């Protein structure tokens, strides 16, 4: 038996495939491969670097993807089903809209696949594939699963500095108690923090090291979800000599020791979901724990630890105007933030934000391709959709203007961290500027 697992590329991204080299492989495919019994032949296809082989001799096709990728996933599923292949689909989007996905697949997986993947394979082998699989509980992360990164074409990704392969993804925890209204994480992963045993994380790191790299990205939605666990994890990372970047919540400001320890453990960068500086917006999206008054100190602490910060912002929330969005960018420039990632609201299935916009009849574009964080698909409250779309790109260009880059990067505090550090930040900012100048998104992978 042979299984082909596919991670599709968003349809609008396919035409730019050769212009943008992906730098982090997906984690789902190698994880499922790690769960697959050894006697079964398995092939992985990440469409960001691979072409889908529609003439594959695989018996079973598995497809996953987020909302902006799902239409492409449905296209791929249709092509294989027309050839008589059985198709299983899963992931966050499919879990939120299983009835939609059933129109395109022979079987759908709702929720996490770890506890049911082998059952799916066995049912297929006995010609008893069910139309729906759903795990009764959130999976137990105590089970050791070694992702099969070796099945990916690692040489096709953008190489991480100092290695011949990309930075690899790894996950230590799942779940989020915050339940922000724009986010689907809590619904899919659950409201409680689940943690892998630290010895298992160390074994995963050893496996990554054996592939020829010590550079990882922790995909955990909040690297500091359990601060005591984080402290112990940092000891392992430091001992193994890895460099990493991760995502953290703004309440890291209450744990200054962790910021310092992250720096010592060679954390090179963090992504922080600031989202907005307006209290009214924070209330609307249920993220009141973000406190703008803390940010200047927080950014300073990260800089002191030589950790670059990418600030994630949502532009076009209900209290936003052109002035408030411009003021937000100016404030972050004043704080000497290394980088920003701008998003417009993504109205994802299963989120409270999408439900609200549906009730208010404000969604104007139902094409899943466009729920990508850069395309305005709704009517904003205080400006037109077209004005928001235009201003979104203007804000990006403003932050990554040459003048802004010089003021944020060529500073005494950055120079005190070393000329190499300053040059790395300068090079990265200029890279984002060049991409924008060429009509490419700064962060599109």
* Bridge partners of residue 342, in order along the sequence: 313
The CATH number of 2-134, from 2.60.40.10, 3.10.520.10, 3.40.50.280, 3.60.15.10, is: 3.40.50.280
C-alpha span between 278 and 415 (Å, rounded): 32
CATH 3.40.50.280 segments of the chain: 2-134
CATH 3.80.30.20 segments of the chain: 159-437
* Bridge partners of residue 168, in order along the sequence: 216
Which among 160, 157, 174, 311 has a CA at the least distance from the CA of 243? 160
Q: Which fold has domain 159-437?
A: pyruvate-formate lyase- activating enzyme (3.80.30)
- Which residue shows structure tokens 């960018």? 329
Question: Helix crossing, 402-409 with 419-437: angle to 10°?
Answer: 160
List all residues 6 or more positions away from 270 whose beta carbon is below 8 Å from its beta carbon. 223, 245, 246, 247, 248, 262, 302, 307, 308, 309, 310
DSSP string, 220-261: -S-TTSSHHHHHHHHHHHHHHT-EEEEEE-GGGGG-HHHHHH
Strands (E), 78-172: 86-90, 107-110, 132-134, 168-170
CB 283 within 8 A of CB 290: no
C-alpha span between 219 and 216 (Å, rounded): 9
Taking only the tens of pLDDT, the chain with its 445 residues reads 999 999 999 987 766 666 667 889 999 999 999 999 999 999 999 999 999 999 999 999 999 999 999 999 999 999 999 999 999 999 999 999 999 999 999 999 999 999 999 999 999 999 999 999 998 889 989 999 999 999 999 999 988 877 889 999 999 999 999 999 999 998 898 999 999 999 999 999 999 999 999 999 999 999 999 999 999 999 999 999 999 999 999 999 999 999 999 999 999 999 999 999 999 999 999 999 999 999 999 999 999 999 999 999 999 999 999 999 999 999 999 999 999 999 999 999 999 999 999 999 999 999 999 999 999 999 999 999 999 999 999 999 999 999 999 999 999 989 999 999 999 999 999 999 998 988 888 887 6
- Token pair in block for residue 214: 């010590």
């Amino acid at each position: 038996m042979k299984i082909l697992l596919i991670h599709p590329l968003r349809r609008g991204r396919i035409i730019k495939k050769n212009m943008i080299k992906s730098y982090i492989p997906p984690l789902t495919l190698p994880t499922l491969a790690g769960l697959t019994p050894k006697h079964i032949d398995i092939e992985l296809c990440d469409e960001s670097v691979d072409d889908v082989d529609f003439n594959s001799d695989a018996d079973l096709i598995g497809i996953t993807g987020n909302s902006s990728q799902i239409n492409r996933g449905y296209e791929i599923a249709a092509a294989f089903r027309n050839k008589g292949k059985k198709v299983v689909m899963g992931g966050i989007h499919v879990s939120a809209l299983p009835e939609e996905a059933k129109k395109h697949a022979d079987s759908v997986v709702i929720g996490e696949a770890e506890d049911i993947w082998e059952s799916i394979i066995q049912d297929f082998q006995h010609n008893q594939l069910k139309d729906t699989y759903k795990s009764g509980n959130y999976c137990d992360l105590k089970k050791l699963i070694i992702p099969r990164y070796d099945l990916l074409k690692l040489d096709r990704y953008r190489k991480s500095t100092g290695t011949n392969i990309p930075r690899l993804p790894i996950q230590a925890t799942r779940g989020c108690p915050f339940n922000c209204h724009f986010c689907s994480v809590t619904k899919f992963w659950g409201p409680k923090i689940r943690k892998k045993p630290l010895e298992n994380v160390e074994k995963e790191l050893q496996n990554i090291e054996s592939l020829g790299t010590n550079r990882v990205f922790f995909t955990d939605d909040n690297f500091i979800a359990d601060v005591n666990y984080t402290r112990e994890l940092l000891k392992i990372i430091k001992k193994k000599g890895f460099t990493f970047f991760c995502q953290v919540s703004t309440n890291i400001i209450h744990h200054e020791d962790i910021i310092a320890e992250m720096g010592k453990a060679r954390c090179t960068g963090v992504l922080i979901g600031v989202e907005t500086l307006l209290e009214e917006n924070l209330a609307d999206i249920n993220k009141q724990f973000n406190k703008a008054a803390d940010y200047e100190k927080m950014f300073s602490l990260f800089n002191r630890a030589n950790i670059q910060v990418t600030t994630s912002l949502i532009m076009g929330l209900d209290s936003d105007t052109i002035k408030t969005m411009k003021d937000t960018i100016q404030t972050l420039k004043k704080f000497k933030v290394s980088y920003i990632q701008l998003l417009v609201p993504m109205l994802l299935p299963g989120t409270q934000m999408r439900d609200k916009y549906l009730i208010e009849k404000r969604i104007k574009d139902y094409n899943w391709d466009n729920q990508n964080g850069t395309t305005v698909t709704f009517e904003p409250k205080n400006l037109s959709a077209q004005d928001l779309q235009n201003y979104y790109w203007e804000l990006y260009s403003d932050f990554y203007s040459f003048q802004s880059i010089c003021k944020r990067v060529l500073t005494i505090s950055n120079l005190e961290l070393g000329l190499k550090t300053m040059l790395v930040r300068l090079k990265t900012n200029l890279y984002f500027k060049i991409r924008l100048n060429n009509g490419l998104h700064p962060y599109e992978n």
